[in-house]
Amino acid sequence: MLHFPDDTALIVIDVQLDFCPGGALAVAGGDEVVPVINRLMDRFATVVLTQDWHPEGHLSFAASHPGKAPFEMTEMPYGPQVLWPEHCVQGTPGAEFHPDLRTEPAHLVIRKGFRPAIDSYSAFFENDRRTATALRGYLADRGVRSLVLAGLATDYCVRYSAVDAARLGFQVTVAEDGCRAIDLAGSLAEARAEMQASGVRLAPSAALGGH
């Protein structure tokens, strides 16, 4: 099996039941990423999982805005915000990782979106683009310079994480067969274009290399 250099980490984004078929914010084929990610895990010296972790009544939920419906837009102090169905509420079954996802290889779990008034797509920053998670410092302490990302959803949390990582100076590859998209009003094409413009490589997992 080809292994990646020790300075390359796998970041697994939000493979949670609410984003899989039958979940509150289901991504079509979301559960199909699990075997791809499970195969990748043993090839990395550093594996990080992220977990959407919202309190009840989070302001990104449509239910928190009377008269608004899921997938409508609203304006937050930090900018435009999609209003989502209630999902990944702390302590609920939908917030748990998919039961077939291997979690024992993970060295760190980053929980995000737990601040009631700020949504969080990226593994690195809340949606205000200023409030940081601990991920950048953790990766720096481990000497990580390159990242492979997979998970859910391509056009939101994977996209924001990949673009932020590139902006922070990491070499970034998205394993496209290890991701699935919501594709809300053309958001997948937009996400792919933004990632590529940011220097993010998009590739199938079989083409990722290693040594």
Question: Which residues form the catalytic set?
Answer: 14, 112, 157
Residue 51: enclosing H or E segment and its boundaries?
strand 46-52
C-alpha dist (Å) from residue 185 to 27, 96, 129, 171, 181? 14, 28, 23, 29, 12
Structure tokens at 186: 């053309």
CA distance 86 to 61: 5
Q: Are 41 and 33 in contact (CB under 8 A)?
A: no
CA distance 42 to 1: 9
- Total residue count of the chain as it appears in this document: 211
State phi, psi for 109 to the nearest 5 degrees: -115, 120
